[in-house]
């Protein structure tokens, strides 16, 4: 497989990088702390490969409005004002 085929596949991972068939099937995935491997098989030529995903970004979806969080923020402010630092036990 040449670099162009690999680049094309990464842009649009919907075809077999060996024979070009669109008849591919994703199998098991193996998550790591910051990456994920997913097995893929071509149902036409039976080549197999791994798609490798890495964590590139994150976004907060929901911040719970817990009163405890406000108490912690207030304590932090008071502590910092007096030159102390809160530590989590």
Minimum distance from residue 7 beta carbon to Zn ion (Å): 18
> Toward Zn ion, which CB reaches closer, 50 or 70?
50
Residue 16 near Zn ion by CB under 5 A: yes
Residues in region 34-73 near Zn ion by CB under 5 A: 42, 44-45, 47
The candidate with the shortest Cα–Cα distance to 43, out of 24, 27, 28, 26, is 24
Q: In this structure, are residues 37 and 30 in contact, taking their beta carbons and an 8 Å threshold?
A: yes
The residue from 10, 19, 26, 71 that contacts Zn ion (CB under 5 A) is 19
> Toward Zn ion, which CB reaches closer, 46 or 77?
46
Give me 46's structure tokens.
């039976």
Angle at 37 between CA 47 and CA 41, to 5 degrees: 20
Residue 15 near Zn ion by CB under 5 A: no
The residue from 6, 8, 21, 30 that contacts Zn ion (CB under 5 A) is 21
């Amino acid at each position: 497989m040449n670099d162009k085929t690999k680049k094309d596949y990464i842009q649009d991972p919907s075809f077999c990088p060996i024979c070009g068939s669109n008849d591919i099937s994703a199998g098991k995935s193996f998550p790591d702390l910051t990456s994920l491997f997913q097995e893929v098989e071509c149902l036409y030529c039976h080549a197999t490969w791994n798609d490798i995903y890495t964590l590139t970004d994150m976004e907060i979806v929901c911040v719970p409005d817990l009163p405890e969080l406000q108490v912690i923020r207030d304590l932090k402010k008071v502590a910092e004002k007096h030159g102390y630092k809160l530590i989590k036990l």
